[in-house]
A and B are shown apart, each in its own frame.
Chain A
Amino acid sequence: MRLLTLLVGSLLLVVAVVVALLLTPELGDVGGKPHEQFSTMASGGSGSARHANVLWLGGLFGAASLVFFVALMAFGARKGASLRGLGRPLAASLVICLAFWVWLLVSYARTMDGGTVSFFGALPGPSAIMLYGFFPVTILFNLLYVIGFNRWILTEEDYQEYKRLVAERRGRSA
């Protein structure tokens, strides 16, 4: 029941943030503008001009989405037993993702006014955090699935129970 509360609660939080965003006035070239020289390209213009009033609401959108994703994952784990074993690693992975998410936001906020940009791995700092930091840590969720499959997804007892159920069904229909 607590898991369902977390799932529905985080969904409603995402809905509330999206509604708030829909009601927030647009500033500057929100969705970019045509490139001055090349018609097949767009350009973003000033980051601070278009993101000034949505940066932290957008930050909340990203954070609430991550919580919702993790709630979905926990909701899909096996139902027969306590989630204590899975809860901690999932929560720890979520915290790491949120830390990288905040780092990405702060890094972008510092450079969106045109501040000095440092490069890492051929990308400017904020993009490098997104591609080489935030993205790889989200792979933790896939690894948790693989590592904990026999404990949190399908135990041997679950499988035996399943086989019994299938055999019983076949017996009934025969």
Chain B
Amino acid sequence: MNELRNPIILGSVVLYMILCIVVGLWAMRRTRSAKDFFMAGRELGIMITGIAIFSSTMSGFGFVGGPGLVYSLGMSSVWMVITVSTSYAAADFLLGKRLRLFAGAFDCISLPDAVAARYGSEATRFLTAIAILLGILGYLATQTLAMATVLQSILVGTGYFPAVSLITCVVISSSVLVFYCVTGGILASVYTDMFQGAVMVVGGFLVFLTTLYVFEGGATAAVATILSDDAEAAGPWGTLGMIGCLSWYFMFTVGAAGQPQILTKGMMIERVQNYRWVPLVTVLGYTLTALLWVSIGLVMRALVLAGAHPELASADAAAPAFLQQYAHPVLAGIVFAGLFAAIMSTADSFLNIGAAALVHDIPRALTGRSLTHELFWARIGTVAIAVFAALFALYSYYANARLVALLGAFGWGTFGAALVPVIGIGFNWKRATPLAASVAITISLVLNFTIEVFDIRLPHNIHGGTVALLASMTIFFLISFLSPPPVLDPDVEALMEI
């Protein structure tokens, strides 16, 4: 069976891609308007909303970067994983119901649409759309590069395509992604998310079971090996240290209420009352998937320390090395398909959200009206963003490797710092003003970019995104308190009373 490992992996990935294309074709027939394209007609059920939320949160980073972080830093990144409960709870309490109410009442088809309705300000809509576009650029380029790198390693591994280039792999993987996103819009995206989420959960859980038996003596012996080499690595803060971990915990929890890929999905649910059950699906799905993140990292670190496996070329090689060496070929096939699923389910959400910002919100903010033939332009916008992200990814890969890493690394922090005050707080507090919202977005972008571009390391490894988030929230409250109370649209006021 082992000699069939690479063909099985390739077959699983090809099958998965064909399925994405089929879903795209199916969804195309149900996408007749911009509302369908961006909001899935606001007709999603509980399961599909819940799975779409968690699968778009768990990107390729969770399947590759996560195990790599545990391998290199020990338990530190587990603090990112365990935010799943508090982050979704905070986002659900603050916005789960409220955004859906706004979407229904004002017929919003994007997050900046809801922001414009809440604040009655096109400037705030414009800044929100810009923050979203800046945030997704890095995310998309990272995902594009990750898709292509994984596809290249699979194709080379089979031996059939020993010289396949990264550019070819970018073209193949991006074409599949763009095809189903352009034809079926967000409807194709959420239905592929459903399938992708299922693959991720099954893969994550089975890999976790496998890791229990890979190390001689079991999981306890593996962790004991890590502990005897370096007690801190096996301790609750890992090698990063306590304050760094807590700053991640804060940023990932509070920042969830500013992630457009999460919030937009909540606006698509058919009945607002159904949102009640969504947290069960998201928390359970994410937790099961994240088992892979923690278990592979710990086992690979223990195997290398014990001399049972050669040192990895890089920390990010932890998951691929585990799958190639220790997982059953069929399981490896499922997980590699799951890896593509994790990457694509995040990328498709961002493509759709970016297209909405580009062809719906920015024109509305600048001209006061929507484009004619908005569905046509939405499709063009999706292709344009995907092509731009692919070119950006390739340029940075060959010319400036730091660019994508830079933008990809601060995506969550950018969205969190820019949008949590404006949306998370602002949709629940009538006293919040458009001026405060605009200043908070601007300050957060400037702070995040400054910290990342100049590679500023804060004392005790406090994450720059945490500082930007705290600063933008404080400024948001301060300016709102100092400004005259805003005069709200009576309907907005009524919605905020609910």
Contacts and interface: CB of A to CB of B under 8 A. Distances in A.
A142 B304 CA distance: 38
Nearest to B473: A11
Interface string A102-119: 001000100110100101
Contacts of B82: 130-131, 134-135, 138
Interface string A1-34: 0001000100110110010011110100011110
B108 to A, nearest CB: 13
Contacts of B152: none
The secondary-structure label for the interface of chain A is helix
B424 to A, nearest CB: 7
Interface string A26-65: 1000111101001111111111001100110010011001
B242 interface: yes
Q: How large is the interface on A (under 10, 10 to 19, 20 to 34, 35 or more residues)?
A: 35 or more
Interface in B207-237: 218-220, 222-224, 227, 229-237
A127 to B, nearest CB: 5
B459 A135 contact: no
Given A117-B227, A145-B93, A165-B495, A65 B235 contact: no
B38 interface: no
A113 B88 CA distance: 36
Interface stretch (B126-134, B308-316, B403-411): B308-316
Contacts of B94: 72-73, 75-76
Most chain B beta-carbon neighbours within 10 Å: one of A76, A111, A150: A76
B254 to A, nearest CB: 7
A88 to B, nearest CB: 16
Contact of B243 (A61, A76, A123, A127): A61
B474 A145 contact: no
A54 B241 CA distance: 10
Given A124-B235, A130-B236, A146-B276, A158 B498 contact: yes
Interface string A60-87: 0110010011001111111110000000
Nearest to B498: A158
Given A22-B458, A169-B105, A138 B235 contact: no
Interface string B231-255: 1111111111111101101100110
B207 to A, nearest CB: 16
B235 A44 contact: yes
Nearest to B82: A135
B460 interface: yes
A153 interface: yes
Interface in B394-410: none
A3 to B, nearest CB: 10
A117 B105 CA distance: 57
Given A40-B312, A62-B249, A165-B495, A142 B238 contact: no
A69 B495 contact: no
Contact of B71 (A4, A40, A46, A150): A40
Given A80-B497, A127-B234, A153-B97, A135 B246 contact: no
Contacts of B230: 35, 43-45
Contacts of A104: 236
Most chain A beta-carbon neighbours within 10 Å: one of B95, B235, B462: B235
Contacts of A130: 75, 78, 82, 236
A43 B229 contact: yes
Most chain B beta-carbon neighbours within 10 Å: one of A24, A134, A141: A141
Given A51-B241, A117-B227, A40 B249 contact: no
B428 interface: yes
Nearest to B101: A162
Interface string B366-396: 0000000000000000000000000000000
B72 A77 contact: no
A109 to B, nearest CB: 11
A146 B86 CA distance: 14
A21 B241 contact: no
B167 interface: no
Given A11-B473, A18-B466, A142 B235 contact: no
B241 A38 contact: no
Given A11-B474, A15-B470, A26-B460, A146 B90 contact: no
A91 interface: no
B269 to A, nearest CB: 12
Given A62-B249, A124-B235, A141-B86, 18 more contacts: A11-B474, A14-B470, A21-B243, A24-B459, A39-B311, A44-B74, A47-B232, A54-B243, A61-B243, A73-B89, A73-B90, A75-B428, A126-B235, A127-B234, A145-B92, A145-B96, A161-B494, A166-B105
19 contacts: A11-B477, A38-B305, A42-B240, A51-B242, A61-B243, A65-B250, A68-B254, A72-B257, A72-B424, A75-B93, A76-B90, A117-B231, A122-B220, A123-B223, A130-B236, A138-B85, A141-B89, A142-B92, A149-B275
Interface of A: 4, 8, 11-12, 14-15, 18, 21-24, 26, 30-33, 35, 38-47, 50-51, 54-55, 58, 61-62, 65, 68-69, 72-80, 104, 108, 111-112, 114, 117, 119, 122-124, 126-127, 129-131, 134-135, 138-139, 141-142, 144-146, 149-150, 153-154, 158-159, 161-162, 165-166, 169
Per CB-CB distance, the 8 closest pairs between chain A and chain B, nearest first, are A44-B232, A32-B239, A76-B94, A141-B89, A76-B93, A149-B276, A122-B219, A73-B93
